[in-house]
Amino acid sequence: MSKGITSRETDYSQWYNELVVKADLAEHSAVRGCMVIKPYGYAIWEKMQAALDKMFKDTGHSNAYFPLFIPKSFFSKEASHVEGFATECAVVTHYRLKNDGTGNIVVDEEAKLEEELIVRPTSETIIWNTYKGWIESYRDLPILVNQWANVVRWEMRTRLFLRTAEFLWQEGHTAHATKEEALAEAEQMLNVYADFAENWLALPVIRGRKTENERFAGALDTLCIEALMQDGKALQAGTSHFLGQNFAKAFDVKFTAKDGKLDYVWATSWGVSTRLMGALIMAHSDDQGLVLPPKLAPIQVVIVPIFKTEEEQMAIGALADTLISELKSKGISIKYDDRDTHRPGFKFAEWELKGVPVRIAVGTRDMQQGTVEIARRDTQAKETVSQAGLADRVEQLLIDIQQQIYNKAAAFREANTVSVDTYEEFKRVLEEEGGFVAAHWDGTRETEQLIKEETKATIRCIPLNNPLEQGTCVRTGKPSIQRVLFARAY
Amino acid sequence: MSKGITSRETDYSQWYNELVVKADLAEHSAVRGCMVIKPYGYAIWEKMQAALDKMFKDTGHSNAYFPLFIPKSFFSKEASHVEGFATECAVVTHYRLKNDGTGNIVVDEEAKLEEELIVRPTSETIIWNTYKGWIESYRDLPILVNQWANVVRWEMRTRLFLRTAEFLWQEGHTAHATKEEALAEAEQMLNVYADFAENWLALPVIRGRKTENERFAGALDTLCIEALMQDGKALQAGTSHFLGQNFAKAFDVKFTAKDGKLDYVWATSWGVSTRLMGALIMAHSDDQGLVLPPKLAPIQVVIVPIFKTEEEQMAIGALADTLISELKSKGISIKYDDRDTHRPGFKFAEWELKGVPVRIAVGTRDMQQGTVEIARRDTQAKETVSQAGLADRVEQLLIDIQQQIYNKAAAFREANTVSVDTYEEFKRVLEEEGGFVAAHWDGTRETEQLIKEETKATIRCIPLNNPLEQGTCVRTGKPSIQRVLFARAY
């Protein structure tokens, strides 16, 4: 089976689709819009989960688990929330199948639910209905809970990892005694996401605020991190919502404050999903395959012996044993690929496709000279180095690669973020160059919508700490107080 | 709020239900049969997951993720499988809600699925449909994959952890080139489960084989671990199935063997679930609350300072800081409970209820004498010991407690396993004493069914390596070649 993939230049979209499948990350399932996450892809997701979970716990959160199903009536309690999700809900209506007597398995119409159940697209409603029973006074607050779960949003056009009917995610749901505390929590979690994106995914992100149009259904304020992909399109990589008292009011969750007064509880929610896998792939990979930041690579180093005779294989194997134990003692994950069913060139291409950050090749001449060949995946640079001190060198190299991948993505974003002041230029940049476009906007929903219809660009965010600057809207010429970031987006 | 719970003697079932809720492990949700797993309960489940996940990986397995939904037609392909699960399936029939124009949210009848989707009760069918695309030759085998997931079985009578409509579990699904390899895998995973039960849950288990009646729907052979609860009822704690070529045939999954011949692939599946939480609670806990084996306790040690003045609080706090850092350096998890809103007696009762294995109390006299009071949760024994060398002592104590909890459960099972030779005695033991009853059985489904109807006892398993022994069936007097283990069961 050929491992070659379409180049980014030829067809970026096709490149992505092929890469996800050929690198064994995921594939389409037989169920419309649902994916199978394969072991290699899932191993990356597990590393993301472990890192995020630790960050959540370090900031005082605990995990819990709430039901997959949400009664339709709950779902309807927060008006803008149901409006946002109603058109993409999988609905359970029956609880039994039966044999129809001719050998066919059919839905048993006698087992119809009195009230339909929605497969959770997000869990605010079921969780706030639960919190009602947990909260009486300020002593019960804050509640700092996270859930790792699957959710379902019935999307019509799906793409592996980026947009699937079922996806995996985490959703934090916190309850607070004060507005200030909830606002601080929403901001804290945005910062956790940004740290994770930058330090683990090696992905520079812009922290910002969504416009009203793009806000989460039910939120008063949605904070987000936005990243730029190699084709110049933006990708929202995580969101953190300040929900005000909306859900507390919908589910009647009040608490007695220190001063004895009854008030509704303040809320946040925040989430990232398997969509991060899509961001990871699209931001860094190349025409040879995946480029994985070492911190998230399931295999960080592959060692490929190059031998002709069994004797040579044995000798290199003995060296490899030593190397492997030295690298493992540093916590580095290693694969020793001594399959005799494939040639070295085939193996090199396979591990490039799979994005292993460092490849070490050892041949007979290396054995004579006390050397190995090291190749780094990100730059594809090769170097012949001494076997002595190799573990230290590899350890440092992994750190360098992590940093270099980040730097490259940061330089790309830098080069693809421009300020424009006319609508002509705005449209030209979007059409010819892509990237983030910083432009003045008059602050209305209508103009935002108009620009979207005319250019397919949306306001990705209003960056936090955005400098105020007098100007005129690129579309309407009306006054504006700041530039906002536009882009076409995933 | 009183933390007192019904005693086991008074009403074992009620004791369990109250304990689960009052110890903050889980509660019933607003969705029929579905539970909310609260942070403290989920923290125990996370520890179980981490230990099991490591054991799976150490035996060569990887994690992956398959869709939540299974098309009805897939589900129907393996006849005995669908027969086993059809009556408890949640069925998705629509994918959209709408506003009916009067403000009510209703199911949009225009968004009806062409084929209904089943919320997975187990994933053999969707996984074997996927494996078909992964397997061509013996080189693609074995596939050793596990999934951590939620599943739904529409149970009519539910109990927290023991039997819920939605539960969390892991399901391993492996594919092999030979029958022998699949049989060895099924046995290996049974042994992993038994090791986990004994070494982590501190729960002695019997490894055995299910009778045809009790086999997993679609399996040729079901291996199981069975444990005894304090009320004398048995609980199936894990199962490992040899599926033969049933699913490979249903989904047409063939491979080319080394000799070039085409054959169907051999399969196993194996799972444990949040039911283990129920087993953990029922096996060890007492009338004061949970008794947690230290290896699974989210908090292993609680330190309670006993003070009157702020000065005393400060002095004890300084000692506690030292103790905590010593204990943490040994990997022990600690809670320092210096809340000034509650009295020490209240705290003692609360941590007993929550099953914290070791409590350390430090008062003013202790400060003068260089001592602390240590109380172990399992035996409730207290001891005043020197502050010097405390960390080493606590470390050893946690090991002792883990062992002692196991020993106690093993002794209980030993005392509650009897061999009987007459049906009168069989019924009397079940009625008056409970426990495992080893009795001769004629090997037929009919007799097994009859005994179940007459005594509510089922054959829990035929122990592996069961000694053969000539005898006569307790119910029919027909010849029998071995005793099998009967019990009433959860």
The CATH number of the domain holding residue A436 is 3.30.110.30
Q: What is the pLDDT of residue B79?
A: 83
CA distance A218 to chain B (A): 16
Residue A80 falls inside a structural domain: no
Task: Check whether residue A276 and residue A305 sit in a common domain.
Answer: no
The minimal CB distance from A86 to the residues B45, B88, B105 is found for B105
* The last residue of a domain, from among A261, A284, A307: A284
CB A440 within 8 A of CB A430: no
pLDDT < 70 stretches in chain B: 1-3
Sign of torsion over alpha carbons A339, A345, A346, A347:
positive
Asked if B63 and A71 come within 8 Å (Cβ–Cβ), the reply is no
DSSP letter string, B340-400: SSS-HHHHHHHHHHTT-SEEEEE-HHHHHHTEEEEEETTT--EEEEESTTHHHHHHHHHHH
Is B433 an interface residue toward A (CB < 8 Å)?
A: no
Task: Answer yes or no: do A156 and A222 share one domain.
Answer: yes
Of B34, B87, B107, the CB nearest to A91: B107
Return the pLDDT at A343. 93
Instruction: Report chain B residues whose CB lies below 8 A from the CB of A118.
Output: 97
CA distance A165 to chain B (A): 10
CATH number at residue A140: 3.30.930.10
* Long-range CB pairs of A229-232, under 8 A, 24+ apart, other chains included: A229/A279, A229/A282, A229/A283, A229/A490, A230/A8, A230/A12, A230/A282, A230/A283, A230/A412, A231/A8, A231/A12, A231/A13, A231/A282, A231/A434, A232/A416, A232/A433, A232/A434, A232/A435, A232/A487, A232/A488
Shared domain check, A389 and A428: no
Q: Is B156 on the interface with A (CB under 8 A)?
A: no
In a domain, B119, yes or no: no
- Domain boundary residue among B383, B412, B441? B412
Contact A294, A357 (CB under 8 A): yes
Same domain, B261 and B307: no
**A212 closest CA partner among A437, A462, A468:** A462
A281, pLDDT greater than 80: yes
CATH number at residue A323: 3.40.50.800
Which of B27, B54, B65, B299 would best serve as a mutation to test chain A binding (most A beta carbons within 10 A)?
Answer: B65
Q: Does residue B96 sit at the A interface (CB-CB below 8 Å)?
A: yes
pLDDT at A1 over 60: no
Query: Same domain, yes or no, for A260 and A344?
Result: no
Same domain, A321 and A437: no
% pLDDT > 90, chain A: 94
SS3 label, residue A297: coil
Residue A454 belongs to some domain of the structure: yes
Q: In what order do the strands lie in the sheet with B417-419?
A: B62-63, B143-152, B166-176, B266-273, B234-244, B221-228, B206-209, B458-463, B483-487, B436-440, B417-419
Please give the pLDDT value at position A83. 87
Q: Of residues A358 and B4, which shows the higher confidence score?
A: A358
pTM for this entry: 0.97
- Whether B96 maps to a domain, the answer reads no
pLDDT recorded at residue A300: 98
**CB < 8 Å from B in window 321-360 of A:** 341
**Contacting residues of A for B68, CB less than 8 Å apart:** 34, 119, 150, 152, 166
Q: Between helices B390-415 and B275-284, what is the axis angle to 10°?
A: 90
* Residues A29, B126: C-beta atoms closer than 8 Å: yes
* Residue among A72, A82, A98 whose CB faces B86 most closely: A98
DSSP assignment letter at B172: E
Same domain, A158 and A298: no
Choose one of B412, B433, B467: the last residue of a domain. B412
Residue B333 lies in a domain: yes
Question: Does residue B76 fall inside a structural domain?
Answer: no
User: CB distance A96–B86 less than 8 Å?
Assistant: yes
Distances (CA, A) of B265 to B135, B184, B268: 9, 15, 10
Cβ neighbours of B91 in A, within 8 Å: 92-97, 107
Q: Give me the interface pTM, i.e. the ipTM.
A: 0.97
Pair A335, A428 in one domain: no
Whether residues A27 and A164 fall in one domain: yes
CB contact under 8 A, B97 and A89: yes
Q: Does A67 touch chain B (CB under 8 A)?
A: yes
Letter string b/e over residues A446-459, b meaning 16 or more CB atoms within 10 A of that residue's CB: ebbeebeeebebbb
Structurally, chain A folds into a number of domains equal to 3
Instruction: For residue B34, give both structure tokens.
Output: 């579905």
B117 is a domain residue: no
pLDDT attached to residue B444: 97
Tokens of B14: 């009620």
Categorize the per-residue pLDDT at A75 as very low, low, confident or very high, splitting at 50, 70 and 90: confident
Please indicate if any CB of chain B lies within 8 Å of the CB of A91.
yes
Residues B153 and B16 in one domain: yes
User: What would the pLDDT profile of A88-127 be if each residue is shown by its tens digit?
Assistant: 999 999 999 999 888 889 999 999 999 999 999 999 999 9
Whether residue B116 is contained in a domain is answered as: no
Residues B220 and B338 grouped into a single domain: no
CA A13 to CA A5: how far, in whole Å? 11
Q: Give A132-173 pLDDT, tens digit per residue.
A: 999 999 999 999 999 999 999 998 889 999 999 999 999 999
Distance from CA of A247 to the nearest CA of B (A): 16
What residues make up the domain containing A317?
A: 294-404
* Per-residue confidence band for A341, with pLDDT thresholds at 50, 70 and 90: confident
Mean pLDDT value across chain A: 96
Residues A160, A277 within the same domain: yes
> Environment class of residue B112 by beta-carbon count within 10 Å: exposed (0-12), middle (13-18) or buried (19+)?
middle
Q: Which residues of A178-190 are buried (b: 16+ CB within 10 A; e: fewer)?
A: eeebbbebbbbbb
Give residue B3's pLDDT: 56
121-140 in A: which are within 8 Å (CB) of B? Answer: 126, 129-130, 133, 139
**Interface test with chain B among A42, A105, A132, by most B beta carbons within 10 Å:** A105
The type of residue at B390 is L
Substitution target from A46, A81, A85, A92 for chain B, most B beta carbons within 10 A: A92
